[in-house]
Amino acid sequence: MAINLLALSVGNTRTKVGLFLAGKLASSQAVLNDNLDGEFAGTVEPLLSQVKDTESPGLILASVNNPVAQRVIAALAKLAPELKICRPEDDLPIPIGRQLDREALVGEDRLLNAAAAYDVLKQACIVVDAGTALTVDFIDGAGTFHGGAIAPGAQMMLDALHAHTAQLPQVTLARPEEPIGHNTTQAMLTAVFHGLRGMVRELTEQYAEVAGSYPLVVATGGNAELLFKDYELIDRIVPDLTLLGLAATWRSVAEEQEG
């Protein structure tokens, strides 16, 4: 099905924008939330122009950051008042099963990542989202999201070390130069880098025991490339997984309405 869609994912640090034309991701860009007022219109307006020129254009927005989402929605209403802004779960159900506690509240991004991964793989998998927080979620072979684990992200760990100690410096995330840190900065980086990789490996092994087989592991998020590039545990890195989940959600509803 030919989907023409502008998809937006509002995160804690950045807002990602994806243009889908004839069902394919034609363009994706990210705007830091701190720079939203200055950069958003310039980034989104040309993409909106492209999608508005297509047949049955759509606009969908997911968010884990409501204050920023409200600013984005207000800007979109000015740029494209003729397009309805659809929200996953509120307007369109995310096409993924769930096995969760009744009172559980799960971020839209986790469900969308799961839906996108299963939409392509059609088998049990693990999704690692390395952003402001780091999540490791399990989806079974029937396409059911079971939840998983939530940890502080890499930069958050480094920031916490600085904020809650007297002598540790402020450090910006980077790949450590070698496994043993020979100065304070490198010691902090190597602990966070290898600690998160080790956590993901341990959780993957635990999930595999539950599943009875070793699932494929997909990584996404702003720090996925830095943390997991060339890591044999990770089968693939998909930076735009949440945007793909938004497109899969739109397509699922459109197909249901058609058929």
Query: What are residue 216's DSSP bridge partners?
Result: 125
230 in catalytic set: no
Measured over the CA atoms of residue 256, residue 28, residue 35 and residue 65, the dihedral's sign is positive
Neighbours of 118 (CB within 10 A): 26
- Amino acid 66 reads N
> Which strands sit side by side in the sheet containing 133-139, from one edge to the other?
97-98, 144-152, 133-139, 125-130, 216-220, 236-237
Query: Do residues 189 and 173 make contact, with C-beta atoms less than 8 angstroms apart?
Result: yes
Phi, psi of 9 (to 5 degrees): -125, 110
Query: What are residue 99's DSSP bridge partners?
Result: none
Q: Which of 37, 90, 101, 109 is catalytic?
A: 109
How many Å from the N-terminal Cα to the C-terminal Cα in the chain?
Answer: 12
Phi, psi of 19 (to 5 degrees): -105, 120
Could you list the beta-strand ranges (E) of the chain. 5-10, 14-21, 24-32, 58-63, 97-98, 125-130, 133-139, 144-152, 216-220, 236-237
Give the catalytic positions in this structure.
109
